[in-house]
Amino acid sequence: MKIVIDGNIPFIRGAFEPWADVVYAPGSAIDRNLVADADALIVRTRTRCDSQLLRGSRVKIVASATIGYDHIDTVWLAEEGIKWTNAPGCNSGSVMQYVTASLCHLALSNSLDLRSLTIGVVGVGNVGSKVVHAARALGMKVLQNDPPRKRREGLKEFIPLDNLLAASDIVTLHVPLTTEGHDKTHYLINRENLPVLKRDCIIINTSRGEVVDNIALRKTLAAGRLGGAVLDVWEGEPRADKRLIKLTDIATPHIAGYSVDGKANGTVTVVRETASHLGIPLAGWEPDSLPMPDQPVIGLDLHSPMNTPLNLAAMAVRHTYPIDDDDRLFRSDPEKFEQLRDNYRQRREFSSFLVNVEDAETRTIVQGLGFKINND
């Protein structure tokens, strides 16, 4: 039995070796010759899994350690009887942390009171629902748009997209990339509806670059008709529009979901799914251990007059993830897009940190974000 694995998937080495011949390769180097005699293929988004790669191979399952699966030709795989799987929700906590860190960075840098702002969440699935919870913990008013859920559940809180765009101070996107159908998300944000946004609105995109018309967004920002942008994803990755980068508040190389926790969750999913399909006994497999944060305990002090409960919570968020560091690295050399992704630092999510704080309001906020609280 042979299994081909993207060598940049963390924590996976050693999982299959007792049962299979395992070949590790960079995602961009996985080709027809390598997979021709493979029984399974485990990838990330950088490997296009379609007829060009897999026709004539003996691959029985394709597993992607990612939420997104637009790099997989699911229709062709189904026609060929090849099982495919992804890892839905695996990095939802990581993306929530990224969005929360962005909000807190903007608040601290621009003296914004998040409690006075309305955030519009477009796509309320695994990721979006956690962003909704975090935004409410920060005291923000939340609007939600999710047409598929609206049809299934009929909930009144799901409103039309244009209504959300017109009423939001911040819009954050958490939809899959789809290019056809009733719920097409390709260019969901485009030159027709960008003018609907408030002139001081900030747009956040951590979904897929093509969900936003990047040229239209660049022109809107350059004309001063939008308050700002936080972009982790770009059209034409790994090449990003350098003129657009200069106009953003935060720019990063598709690493919102790159926490240690998110990566581990994705690896667990693909190992278990692949093993089950191939008859390998790894149903309860977990990584041996995850690296702990360098400073897992956070002390917050309310005594300074500037330290309001919301500012203290923002400082706790920054302790876990100083997002401006990622912005600085990417902005200094956008050509290192893939290098920055492949060598991304170890970032743990909020639940890996213990907060010492006496103030009850601050405790409520940070606990709502998912931090552990020291009750001693």
Would you give the distance in Å from CA 338 to the centre of its chain?
Answer: 16
φ, ψ at 5 (rounded to 5°): -130, 135
**Cβ(5)–Cβ(26) under 8 Å?**
no
**Cβ(90)–Cβ(143) under 8 Å?**
no
- Please list the active-site residues: 208, 237, 254
Task: State pTM to two decimals.
Answer: 0.90
**Cβ(267)–Cβ(10) under 8 Å?**
yes
- The whole-number pLDDT of residue 57 equals 97
User: How far is it, in rounded angstroms, from Cα 291 to Cα 310?
Assistant: 29
Q: Which residues of the chain have pLDDT under 50?
A: none
User: How far is it, in rounded angstroms, from Cα 46 to Cα 71?
Assistant: 7
Torsion of CA 320, 9, 93, 212, to 10 degrees: 100
User: How far is it, in rounded angstroms, from Cα 347 to Cα 292?
Assistant: 9
- The whole-number pLDDT of residue 307 equals 82
User: Residue 133: how many CB atoms within 10 A of its CB?
Assistant: 14
pLDDT, one tens digit per residue, over 21-68 is 999 999 989 999 999 999 999 999 889 999 999 999 999 999 999 988
**Cβ(83)–Cβ(255) under 8 Å?**
no
Strand intervals (E) in 140-201: 141-145, 170-173
The sign one gets for the Cα dihedral 325, 350, 259, 18 is positive
User: How far is it, in rounded angstroms, from Cα 273 to Cα 7?
Assistant: 18
φ, ψ at 23 (rounded to 5°): -115, 125
User: How far is it, in rounded angstroms, from Cα 328 to Cα 78?
Assistant: 43
- The whole-number pLDDT of residue 304 equals 65
The CATH number of the structural domain formed by 297-373 is 3.30.1370.170
Domain 92-251 in CATH 3.40.50.720? The answer is yes
Domain boundaries, the chain: 2-86+259-278, 92-251, 297-373
Q: Is 298 helix (H, G, I), strand (E, B) or coil?
A: strand
User: How far is it, in rounded angstroms, from Cα 263 to Cα 273?
Assistant: 16
In this structure, which topology does domain 2-86+259-278 adopt according to CATH? Rossmann fold (3.40.50)
Query: Same CATH fold, 92-251 and 2-86+259-278?
Result: yes
User: How far is it, in rounded angstroms, from Cα 38 to Cα 57?
Assistant: 7
Any idea which residue has 């997002």 for tokens? 323
- List CB contacts of 161: < 8 A, sequence separation 6 or more: 122, 145, 188, 193
- List CB contacts of 227: < 8 A, sequence separation 6 or more: 198, 199, 200, 201, 202
- The whole-number pLDDT of residue 48 equals 96
